[in-house]
Each structure stands twice: as structure tokens, then as C-alpha cells.
Amino acid sequence: MVMHQNHFLACPLMRQLCQYQRCVPQDTGFSSRFLKVLVQTLQWLDSPAVEAGPLQAQLKLFAAQYSARRRISDVRSGFLHLAEALTFRGDPEVVSSTIRAIAATLKSGEGCDVEPELISKVLRGLVAVRSPHLEELLAALFSAASAFPASGPVAVVSSLLLQEKGEPPALGKQDSDGCSLEAVRLGPCSGLLVDWLEMLDPEVISSCPDLQQRLLFSQSKGKGPPGPQVPSFRPYLLALLTHQSGWPTLHQCIHVLLGKSREERFDPSASLDFLWACIHIPRIWQGRDQRTPQKRREELVLRVQAPELIGLVELILAEAETRSQDGDASACSLLQARLPLLLSCCRGDDEGIRKVAVHLTSCIQQWADSVLGRRCRDLLVHLYLQRPDLRVPVPDVLLHSEGAAGSSVCKLDALIHRFITLLADTSDSRAAENRVADANMACRKLAVAHPILLLRHLPMIAALLHGRNHLNFQEFRQQNHLTFFLHVLGILELLQPRVFQSEHQGALWDCLLSFLRLLLNYRKSSRHLAPFISKFVQFTHKYITCNAPAAVAFLQKHSDALHDLSFDSSDLVMLKSLLAGLSLPSRDGRADRGLDEEGEDESSAGPLPLVSISLFTPLTAAEMAPYVKRLSRGQTVEDLLEVLSDLDEMSRRRPEILGFFSTSLQRLMSSAEESCRGLAFSLALRSIQSNPSIAADFLPTFMYCLGSRDFEVAQTALRNLPEYTLLCQEHAAVLVHRAFLVGMYGQMDTSAQVSEALRILHMEAVM
């Protein structure tokens, strides 16, 4: 400021210094320091608080003259001068004149021996000051043949774009003057750089693969709010990569993203977006028929190997972990959104998706209830809902998983909905009864094979139980409402113990309440309700065993109704025994408690409810031994029929006893005696209906009977084919194919049985 105020002394002094610099140009140290003084002084004088004066005008003239003289010097000196001017925020006129001097020197053909670090520093400085001459300098640099090697311009532009993402520059770590290499916000300059990158490398990723892969897929580590920080230009670059790159480039990029050697710094969202875009590249579908067949088979567009599928799964899990800011719900939505990509990569490759399931299973076992373990479990649930036909140990892994009830749409939801609707049908025609029986078998099979899928529809089952017990008992029974209640209770028995989990408590209590209302409304007809009461008490006993707190809460809440039912029906011995063995309050003890307080405090129930006596003693092998011996040693048809008839009578009440006779029944299913054979088939199917999980045990025998040379044996097997196919759905294709071959080469018409089996599988009965 003293020099500015005493410009009559400062101006002659500055002229003398400038004259010395002209006369002794070899003194580079003086020239550099003199330029620095010029720039700093101009920077101070450019302050709004300082009025313009002679000294400022003279210094600007010296700076312009100095820049003009640099035209005849080498390019490196020009870059050094420009770097110093940008470092001290020099006069824009000085910056522009220097850039023009560098451009003129490059156009004159002079070699460019400038270090890449210096070029990067200058370009970042121009970006920082929003210089309008950035494009002019880039054009001059990239037009000079000797300025860079073949991939040099692409590396320069890519490194500048990486600054926007907060990554360290690729062309150098630290400049000589200690200039900070913090992230530079490109602002409007990013569009210019992206245009240059597209012009220099149309494939975006082929010139400097490592650097450009980081540009396209690396995660941003810049400071800011938590969550993904995606550069604004990245979607455009990914679109260029997808639409302008050749097939080899795309394949190489896919292998890098999914290979074992991939970098953990890759942004999972960008990687997954690119993979999804690859499936929908318009070039793939050129020349295809625009009319898509209704029953077309999905094509495997993105062919990835099994190890790469594991990489895809890890990307999906990583995205859910990094982007789920709102907890498990947000993570589940992300997993669900990426599931179509995973399924499209597994199209037609059951082995690959099995490996994915095995990998997720091992991760669940390794990470247990950690965040990553829950993410793996959620993804496995979504995968299972879309591909329930996979024969992998998924249900065991997902036994304690939550969230399947309210998750995404399942592939079998519509079919299960139809099964349940048919099960609740109350029509009195013979065809309707057959449909109800078929639907009951289908639901029982689902309860054993896919309990998770059926439990998703438990609220619907509970709702269908409502509005039926207002009729008198004769109407209730004749309209098949009692049959529906028995079927539902039987299905709930097969869903044990999963149905007792807390996530199903609301729907389960709704079902149990409907059962209680049934017993209360028709307590005078307890003789006809004996089978239902027996099953209900057994189910309640199992509920107490598996989930005592929830069972106590329900029973205490409705203890008045249970005691009323027990007092009014003296013949309900099983119910009295259950109430006697439970720590339930009496009616008198609850008289002064409000209904709203019932069941609120589970800890007030006293000791845990335990049944004092064993109400339901299962039959043992020793008790069944005489029948087994008689069946195995039977010599005559009369002896065999007598034993089978006894078993038929006993199994009507307790079908579980047939499990002791599986071997003998399978032997008699191929008997030459029609009466024995028919009864053996009937008992075998009854045993499978009671416990559908054993259906596959009878498959070899059934296949043998279908292919038997004995015409009568084959006919008996064909008559039972539809029912057995429904109970053994996992092997339905094998059974139907065998029946078709029998019809082709066995000189018998099997078309009716095959059609009926297919009809029952899809419940396409004519209403």
C-alpha cells in the first residue's frame, strides 16, 4: 500500500527492475521472483478497497509484456508461468495471454516436453477459476502430435473428471510447490471434459482401462452427507459405454466387474446399472419379431459363469449395505429391485442358481444375525419366492426368517390363492366335493413342501373362516362348513411349528378364535364335533409346547369361553384334561377384571402352563407289531384282506398308524389280487394324504406298477395317477411322462388319466 500511495517513487523503481530483467534474461531466479512479486502486487492492488492508480496500470503492462515475450520461449516455461499465475490468482489478462502464447508456440511445431504433473496442475487451476480459455488450451495440447503418447489425452481428461469424484489424480501425487490436490468441483467444465473424452475415446473405456474403470465404477469418497455421491456425468458415460462400445469391450468390462479380482472400491449401484443396461441394449434385439409370443421362453442374454454369479450376488448385497439408510425396509426394497437382474442371469441355468443359494446359505451360517447375515437371508427369501421349484435346502435355512409374509409377489401366489378359494367352496354337487378334496390335498402338500409360501396366505385362510357359524348345526354340516374347518385345522397341524412363530400370531389367533366360536355355538352337538375337538385340543397342546407365552396369552384371554364350554359339555374329557393341566384362572377369579386387561400381562399367568398328564399318547411300533406280523405272514387272500380291512378301519380315525406298514403296502400294491391291490393303493394314498412328506418314498413302487407287464396292475396305478401326482408334485413330470410312454407302447389308452393329472395340478376344473 505504501508503494501505491507513493507511486511517483515506486513506478521508476519497477521500471528499473523490469529493465534489468530484459538485459539479463539468463538470470532465471531473478525473473521468477520478479514475476512472483508482480503477481502478488497485482493481486493486492486488485482488491475492491484499493483505487486504481498509475502503479497498477504499469504492473499490468509489465505482466502483459512479459507474457508476450514468453511466446518465443519453450512450452514448459509457459506452463510454469501459467501455474504460478494460477497459484496466486493472477490477473485474468495475464492468464489468457499466457494461454495464447502456449497455443501459438505449440502450433508453431515446437516440441512439448512438459511433465504430465505440471499439465494436470495447470488444467486443475483453470477449472478452479472457471477460465473460459480451458477449451482453447485443451485443443492446443491435444492437437500437438508430440505432446502426449497415444493414450495421454484420454488420461488427462479422465484424471480431471476423477477430481470431481474426490479421488487422487492419476498423473501425479503432489506438485513441486506443495499445491493441494483436494477434489476440484468441475461445475460447468464437466460437460466440456465429457465431450472431449467422448471425442478422444468413443468407447469410453478402451484407451486407459484401469483409469477409466475407476472413473465409471469407483465409489466416491468425497466429504458430504452420508450415502451415495454419484457424479452428474456418470449416467451419460455409462450410456456411451453401453451403446458405443464393441462386444469385446463390453465382455471385458463385465468380466472385470464380476471377476474374483474386481476392486472392492467399485460402486455396486453403477456396476449393477451397467449390467442391467447390457441386457437391454437395442442392438441385441434388432431384427426380432415385434410380436412377442404369449408362451415364449426367456432368453439368456447375459451369459455369466457360476463364479461370476457369486460376484453379482456380492454386488447386490454391497449395494443394499451401502445405500440402505432407512433400515431393513429400504434394504429389502433394493434387494427386490435387483432380483430380476439376478434371475435373468440364471435363466435356464438351474445349477448356477443352486450355487447362488448354497453361497447365500453359507453366508447366513457364517454371519448369523449380523447386518450382512440379515441381508443374505432377505435375498434368499426373495430368490426362494421367485424360484420355489429349486430343490435345495432353502426351507431349512429360512425356518426362522421373518419378512416372507409381507415380501414381494411370489410366483405361486395366484395358484395358492386358487387352492384356498376352492377349499372354501360350499357347493353341494359331486364335482364340487371332488374339487374340495383335490384342493385339500394340494394345500396339505404345500404345507409340507413349501410352508413359507402357504403361511403368506394365513390371513386369507383366517378371513375365510368368518361368517359361517351363524347357521344351525344341520345347515352348517350339510353345507360342508364343518369340512372346511376340519381341513383348515389339518393344514395348520402340518404347518407346525412354523405357524407358531410370532410373525404369524395375529392370523393364528384369528383362526383359533373362529374354532372357539364354532365349539361354543354348537356345544350341544359335541358328539358330531368329537374329531374336530380332538384335533383342536392336540393343536392347542402343541402350541403351548412350542410357544408358551403366546399360547398362555390366548388361552387366558378366552378362558371364560373355554370354561363355559367345559362346564356345559360334560363329555368333553380331553378339553377338561387340558384345562385342568393349565395354570388358567377360574371364572370367579376373573369376574372383576375388564376385558381389555385380558392377556395384557403375560407374566401374571403364574407358572408356565404345562399339561399335567399326557393326553395324546402316540402309538408305538410294539403296539402295531401284531398287525405287521399278520400282514407280512399272510398266506391267503382272505388273511390279507382281513388285516387290510382292520387297518382301513383304524386309519380312518388315526391315519398316522399307516406309517408302520409302508413296506408291506408297497409290496401289496403290485399284488395280482385285485382286492388286495386296490385296498393297498387306497391305504397308501391315505397315508400320503396324512403326511405328504413321504410321497416320494412310494415313487419307485408307483413307477414299477405303471410299467408292469400285468395289465391289471398298470390299470390300478393309472386310476390312482391323478391323486398321487398331486401329492408328489416334485416328481409330476416323471410320472406323467411314464404314463404317456405306457400309453404309447403298452397298448392302452392313458390320455384320460394324463389329462386329469394335469387338470388337478392346475386346479382347472370346470365350475
Cβ pair 554, 516 in contact under 8 A: no
Give the span between the Cα atoms of 50 and 226, in whole angstroms.
44
Confidence (pLDDT) at 325: 66
Look at residue 59 and tell me if it is in a domain: no
- pLDDT band at 36; cut points 50, 70, 90: confident
**Amino acid code (one letter) for 495:** L
Give the span between the Cα atoms of 694 and 521, in whole angstroms.
37
Confidence (pLDDT) at 764: 54
Least confident of 141-155, 353-367, 713-727: 141-155
Q: Do both 445 and 514 map to the same domain?
A: yes
Closest Cα partner for 426 from 456, 472, 473, 464? 464
Q: Do both 678 and 717 map to the same domain?
A: yes
Least confident of 32-46, 242-256, 286-300, 543-557: 286-300
Q: Do both 572 and 452 map to the same domain?
A: yes
Q: 218 has which bridge partners?
A: 266
Look at residue 149 and tell me if it is in a domain: no
Dihedral sign, Cα of residue 366, residue 372, residue 373, residue 377:
negative
Q: Residue 676: is its pLDDT beyond 80?
A: yes
Q: Do both 598 and 466 map to the same domain?
A: yes
Confidence (pLDDT) at 460: 94
- pLDDT band at 2; cut points 50, 70, 90: low
Q: Residue 490: is its pLDDT beyond 50?
A: yes
Q: Do both 500 and 546 map to the same domain?
A: yes
- pLDDT band at 684; cut points 50, 70, 90: very high
Look at residue 1 and tell me if it is in a domain: no
Q: What is the mean pLDDT of residues 233-237?
A: 88
Q: pLDDT: is 697 or 563 the higher one?
A: 697
Confidence (pLDDT) at 274: 92
Q: What is the mean pLDDT of residues 497-505?
A: 89
Confidence (pLDDT) at 321: 83
Give the span between the Cα atoms of 110 and 106, in whole angstroms.
6
Termini Cα distance of the chain: 101
Confidence (pLDDT) at 582: 64
Give the span between the Cα atoms of 248 and 309, in whole angstroms.
20
Where among 377, 397, 417 does a domain terminate?
397
Confidence (pLDDT) at 221: 59
Give the span between the Cα atoms of 224 and 44, in whole angstroms.
33
Q: Do both 682 and 735 map to the same domain?
A: yes
3-state SS, 296-334, equals: CCCCCCCCCCHHHHHHHHHHHHHHHHHHCCCCHHHHHHH
Exposed/middle/buried for residue 615 (C-beta within 10 Å: 0-12, 13-18, 19+):
middle
8-state DSSP, 229? -
Q: Residue 655: is its pLDDT beyond 80?
A: yes
| Buried/exposed code over 671-707 (b: 16+ C-beta within 10 A; e: otherwise) | beeeebbbbbbebbbbbbbbebebbebbeebbbebbb
Q: Residue 601: is its pLDDT beyond 50?
A: no
Where among 397, 417, 447 does a domain terminate?
397
For 582, the domain range is 433-605
**CATH number, domain with residue 650:** 1.25.10.10
Look at residue 90 and tell me if it is in a domain: no
Q: Do both 758 and 629 map to the same domain?
A: yes
Where among 605, 631, 647 does a domain terminate?
605
What's the chain's average pLDDT?
A: 78
Percent of the chain with pLDDT over 70: 75
CB proximity list for 327: less than 8 A, separation 6 or greater: none
Q: Do both 452 and 569 map to the same domain?
A: yes
Percent of the chain with pLDDT over 90: 15
Q: What is the mean pLDDT of residues 254-268?
A: 80
Confidence (pLDDT) at 72: 41
Closest Cα partner for 65 from 43, 107, 41, 98? 98
Confidence (pLDDT) at 145: 54
Q: Residue 567: is its pLDDT beyond 90?
A: no
- pLDDT band at 171; cut points 50, 70, 90: very low
Q: At CA 187, angle to CA 185 and CA 190, rounded to 5?
A: 95
How many structural domains are present in the chain? 3
Confidence (pLDDT) at 208: 84
Q: pLDDT: is 134 or 32 the higher one?
A: 134
Closest Cα partner for 611 from 538, 512, 509, 533? 538
- Phi, psi values for residue 90, rounded to 5°: -70, 175
Look at residue 409 and tell me if it is in a domain: no
- pLDDT band at 587; cut points 50, 70, 90: very low
Cβ pair 480, 436 in contact under 8 A: yes
Dihedral sign, Cα of residue 104, residue 107, residue 108, residue 109:
positive
Give the span between the Cα atoms of 521 and 148, in whole angstroms.
93
8-state DSSP, 410? P
Look at residue 43 and tell me if it is in a domain: no
Q: Residue 611: is its pLDDT beyond 80?
A: no
- pLDDT band at 586; cut points 50, 70, 90: very low
Tell me how far CA of residue 407 lies from CA of 313, 452, 501, in angstroms.
19, 11, 17
Q: Do both 731 and 588 map to the same domain?
A: no
C-alpha cell at 752: 384320460
- pLDDT band at 566; cut points 50, 70, 90: confident
Cβ pair 103, 127 in contact under 8 A: no
Q: What is the mean pLDDT of residues 618-630?
A: 76
Dihedral sign, Cα of residue 193, residue 195, residue 198, residue 201:
negative
Confidence (pLDDT) at 459: 93
Q: Which tens digits make up the pLDDT trace of 41-56?
A: 777 776 666 677 777 7
Confidence (pLDDT) at 571: 57
Look at residue 743 and tell me if it is in a domain: yes
Least confident of 95-104, 123-132, 153-162, 680-689: 95-104
With both helix axes pointing from N to C terminus, report the angle between 481-494 and 413-423 in degrees, rounded to the nearest 10. 140
Q: Residue 71: is its pLDDT beyond 70?
A: no
Q: Do both 441 and 362 map to the same domain?
A: no
Q: Do both 384 and 502 map to the same domain?
A: no
Q: What is the mean pLDDT of residues 230-245?
A: 87
Q: Name the range with the highest mean pLDDT among 418-432, 484-498, 553-567.
A: 484-498
Cβ pair 509, 472 in contact under 8 A: no
Look at residue 265 and tell me if it is in a domain: no
Q: Please, where are the H alpha helices in 569-708?
A: 573-581, 621-633, 637-653, 662-668, 674-690, 699-706
Q: Do both 455 and 494 map to the same domain?
A: yes
Give this prediction's pTM. Answer: 0.75
Confidence (pLDDT) at 390: 67
Q: pLDDT: is 341 or 630 the higher one?
A: 341
